[in-house]
C-alpha cells in the first residue's frame, strides 16, 4: 500500500494494537506516542551523546572498536556498506559508539558465543553507564509490551516470544551525523534492519527517510516526544512476510544530527523462521541469530568478504 506519511499511533488508545498491526503490514514504520518513556531520558541521552562525541580523538582511540570486540567508538567514515560493489556508495558519514546487552560476567552464554561480553564505558564521562542503563531498561519494557501486541495480532504464544530474549543480542548505536553537502551522500545508506524492532527518538533536525512502494522517499515526521518504531527482517520472517521490513536511509544536510537507535535482537541460539503460514510468494528461509549477527559485524570491515551463507545482512536497497 502506498503511503504519504508515517502513521502516528497513541499506545494508550484502545485501538493501538489494530493500528500497529496495520502499520507493520503496510509500511513497517510508526511514530508512537503514549510510550511511557520519561521525556527526561531523551534529554539526558542527547546531552550524553554531545559530550561523548566532543571528546578528543586522543581519548576516543583508547575506546575504539576492533574486529574482536564490537563495542566502543567507530570513527567517522570508518565503515562502508556490506556490499559496496553492488551499491557503489562510499563510507557512511557518521561516527558512532557501539553498545550491546550488558552480559553478566558469570552468565553461561559468554562461553557459548563471542558476541557476548561487557560494554566499554568511557571513564571521562562518569554518568554514561547510569544514563544508558536507565534508557535501555525503558526500551526493554516498551519492546516487551510490543511483543505482547505482536503475539495477539499473529495469534501466537506471547510467552514463547518473550522467552527468546533471556540473553539477547539486543544492541544500541550512539550516532553523530555531520552535515553532508550533497543529497547523494548518505549518513547511513539505504538498508533494512535485520532485527525484531528498532526504537528511535528522532532528531528534531530530521534526515530519516523511508522508502515508499513507488521508490520515492518519505521523510519521517513525528510529534515532539514521539518514538519511531520500525520492524526488522527477523520480525518480517517471524510473521511469514505479513509484516514488512522497509528500507530507510539518513541524509543530513543540516547541523550535527544525534541519534541513539535501540535494536531488539533475540538470543544467539534462536533460529528465526515463520511462526504462521507464509504470505503467498514470501521467501522460505531461516535466520540464525548468532551467525547472522557475527557475519554482519565481520563484513563491516573492508578486507572481509561475505561467506557462503543463505541469509541477508540487512538488505541494501
- Which pLDDT tens digit goes with each residue over 14-37? 999 999 999 999 999 999 999 999
User: Using CA atoms, how far apart are residues 298 and 68, in angstroms rounded to an integer?
Assistant: 9
pLDDT beyond 90 at 185: no
Domains of the chain: 8-298 (2.60.120.330)
Q: What is the structure's pLDDT at 315?
A: 45
Pick the closest to residue 247 from 209, 201, 198, 221 (CA basis). 209
CA 266/CA 269 separation, integer angstroms: 8
| Whether pLDDT at 122 is above 90 | yes
DSSP letters spanning the chain: ---SS--EEETTSTTHHHHHHHHHHHTSEEEEE-----HHHHHHHHHHHHHHHTS-HHHHGGGB-BTTB--EEE-TT----TTHHHH-----S-EEEEEE----TT-GGGGT-TT-------TTSTTHHHHHHHHHHHHHHHHHHHHHHHHHHHT--HHHHHHTTSSB--EEEEEEE---SSTTS-SEEEE---SSEEEE---TT--EEEE-TTS-EEE----TT-EEEEE-HHHHHHTTTSS----EEE---SS-EEE--EE---BTT-EE--SSPPPTT-----EEHHHHHHHHHHTTSTTPPP-S-SS-SS-B-
CA distance 77 to 92: 6
pLDDT at residue 261 in the model: 98
pLDDT at position 175 over 50: yes
Out of 88-97, 251-260, 261-270, the most confident range is: 261-270
Say what angle helices 39-53 and 128-154 make with each other, to 10 degrees: 130
Residue 88, pLDDT > 70, answer no
Q: In this predicted structure, what is the pLDDT of residue 283?
A: 84
Across the range 119-130, mean pLDDT stands at 98
Whether 313 has a pLDDT exceeding 70, the answer reads no
pLDDT on residue 86 = 45
pLDDT of the residue at 81: 57
| Percentage of residues of the chain with pLDDT beyond 70 | 90
Give me the pLDDT at residue 254, please. 80
pLDDT value for 316: 42
Is 222's pLDDT higher than 50? yes
pLDDT-above-90 percentage for the chain: 76
- Predicted TM-score of the model (pTM): 0.94
Amino acid at each position: 500500500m502506498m503511503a504519504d506519511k508515517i502513521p502516528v499511533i497513541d499506545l494508550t488508545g484502545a485501538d493501538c494494537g489494530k493500528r500497529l498491526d496495520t502499520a507493520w503490514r503496510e509500511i513497517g514504520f510508526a511514530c508512537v506516542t503514549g510510550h511511557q518513556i520519561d521525556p527526561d531520558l531523551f534529554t539526558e541521552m542527547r546531552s550524553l551523546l554531545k559530550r561523548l562525541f566532543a571528546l578528543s580523538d586522543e581519548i576516543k582511540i583508547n575506546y575504539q572498536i576492533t574486529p574482536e570486540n564490537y563495542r566502543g567508538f567507530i570513527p567517522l567514515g570508518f565503515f562502508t556498506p556490506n556490499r559496496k560493489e553492488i551499491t557503489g556508495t562510499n563510507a557512511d558519514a557518521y561516527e558512532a559508539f557501539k553498545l550491546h546487552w550488558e552480559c553478566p560476567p558469570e552468565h553461561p552464554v559468554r562461553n557459548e558465543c563471542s558476541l557476548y561480553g561487557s560494554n566499554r564505558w568511557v571513564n571521562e564521562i562518569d554518568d554514561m553507564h547510569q544514563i544508558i542503563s536507565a534508557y535501555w531498561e525503558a526500551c526493554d519494557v516498551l519492546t516487551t509490551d510490543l511483543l505482547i501486541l505482536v503475539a495477539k495480532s499473529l495469534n501466537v504464544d506471547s510467552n514463547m516470544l518473550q522467552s527468546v530474549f533471556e540473553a539477547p543480542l539486543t544492541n544500541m548505536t550512539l550516532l553523530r551525523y555531520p552535515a553532508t553537502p550533497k543529497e547523494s551522500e548518505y549518513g547511513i545508506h539505504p538498508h533494512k534492519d535485520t532485527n525484531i524492532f528498532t526504537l528511535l527518538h528522532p532528531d528534531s533536525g530530521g534526515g530519516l527517510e523511508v522508502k515508499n512502494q513507488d521508490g520515492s522517499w518519505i521523510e519521517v515526521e513525528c510529534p515532539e516526544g514521539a518514538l519511531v518504531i520500525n520492524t526488522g527482517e527477523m520480525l518480517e520472517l517471524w510473521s511469514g512476510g505479513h509484516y514488512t521490513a522497509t528500507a530507510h536511509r539518513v541524509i543530513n544536510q543540516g547541523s550535527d544530527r544525534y541519534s541513539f537507535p535501540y535494536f531488539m535482537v533475540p538470543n544467539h541460539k534462536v533460529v528465526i523462521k515463520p511462526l504462521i503460514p507464509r504470505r503467498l510468494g514470501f521467501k522460505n528461509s531461516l535466520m540464525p541469530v548468532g551467525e547472522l549477527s557475527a557475519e554482519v559485524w565481520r563484513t563491516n570491515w573492508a578486507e572481509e568478504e561475505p561467506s557462503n551463507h543463505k541469509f541477508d545482512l540487512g538488505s541494501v536497497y
